[in-house]
Amino acid sequence: MLEVRWAVVRIKVLSYAMKLSRREFLQGSAMTGAMFLAELAIPAPIRAQLEKLLGTQEVIRETLDDMLTRLQGDVYDKNEEEVWAHIQKGDFSGSMNIRLASTKNELRTINLAPLYADANVSSVAIAHTHTAAFYRSEKILPETTIQHIEKQKKSEVPLIVSATDIIAALVQKITLKAKRPDRIVKEFLLEPAGMWTYDVDPNHPRIQQLLVLQDQRESPAAMEEEMRFMSSLGKELDQWQKKFCEGEGATSDDIQKFIRWGKDRWGISFTFKKFL
């Protein structure tokens, strides 16, 4: 399966150059999907399927920092969520847009598991955005506050990860561990207040409770446990999001409390870097 659905209810499978404008920079770095895949050692049948999927996707030769800087701008310049993957293999460094389609309840992305077959890929990073437009679509802030944030392009109200973001990160980690236990996938979220990294500890008791039934993933018991996990984590994340929307937004102390909560209660490690 070369497509991953990050469903709200159920998860299946489980440097801009200073002298160049943004358009000129991207034009000079753009690649075709076939050019991107030519850098990777992938079985021919899988390559053919990926080339078809990547035919309409944006692919850019750039560093990880380039990709993150670009997505930081997209947080305010675009309305819809972006999902990009960055691949490093020797001297080759490039990113591809892996978002296929999205609705209010589902995000479909390209499955990166086949790329892990290339033993010379040294790192994989996945970054997605929560755009400033979310404040309005989710009705979590007053319109006057949203307009001020959009004008200043600066926010004190983080748009934190969702339960589906966490499940997707866990699936990626488990998939990669099975193929390449020596490598990690870095997960990034860029949102109006700053940039997050997050990782899930498969050995945390709450995660173990979810994983113990994964060998019977389609069984009623496994599906019920996943639903319970998603519901419980989702409700607690919603409570934190509401707290961050109160008053003047999230303080440094609030952020640190959230980080401790994630690690202690759910085995989720967060870091946060505020945008200046």
pTM of the full predicted structure? 0.81
Residue 126 and residue 112 in contact, taking contact as beta carbons nearer than 8 Å: yes
Q: What residues contact residue 19 under an 8 Å CB cut-off, 6+ apart?
A: none
Domain count, the chain: 1
Model pLDDT, residue 225:
80
Model pLDDT, residue 184:
73
pLDDT in tens, 49-98: 666 666 667 788 899 999 999 999 999 999 999 999 998 888 888 898 88
**pLDDT < 50 stretches in the chain:** 1-28
Owning domain of residue 235: 3-274
Model pLDDT, residue 37:
64
Model pLDDT, residue 10:
33
Model pLDDT, residue 214:
64
